[in-house]
Amino acid sequence: MAEPRILKAPVGDVRRGLTIDTPTGPFTLIERDGAIVGAHWLGEGGQDETPLLVEAARQVAAYFDDPGAGFDLPLRIEASPAQQAACAAMQAIPLGETRTYGTLAKALGVSAQAMGQLCGGNPIPLIVPCHRVLGAGGRLTGYSGGAGVETKLALLRHEGGGGFLI
């Protein structure tokens, strides 16, 4: 039987996480080298209280108090050029508005299905607002965060986007 290989992260490749409670469930922010590189609703992360993670947590809490608060954080999308372009397109969607996968796909020169995969691969959901991307005709489609489509709908209602006001 072969010895197990232990893979070590490169020096300087230290990720730190901070999990906070939000109205949509436990939300983890991930930092590496002075930038937010990830976020998720998986309920696992850490309690690293670096200055950046504490500020990011403050901004997430402020967003849930008032979605107009917005986010002003250093982000780094550690992904393919296509994923980076998709994230930039999602970040350009104004608060309270939505776009369709098809509209963004056309702008990026990819298929709507590819755009759906790119949205699903967003490493920093909520802060990079993939929840503002809808299916054809404004259909509410999948969401990889939290409770899936229910979380997407809750975020859209919170923002008053896409006619999802309560």
Residues with catalytic function: 130
Contact assessment for residue 44 and residue 19, using Cβ atoms and an 8 Å cutoff:
yes
Give how far Cα 154 sits from Cα of 34, 51, 66, Å.
30, 29, 14
Q: Which tokens go with 115?
A: 């755009």
First to last CA, the chain: 60
Contact assessment for residue 22 and residue 126, using Cβ atoms and an 8 Å cutoff:
no
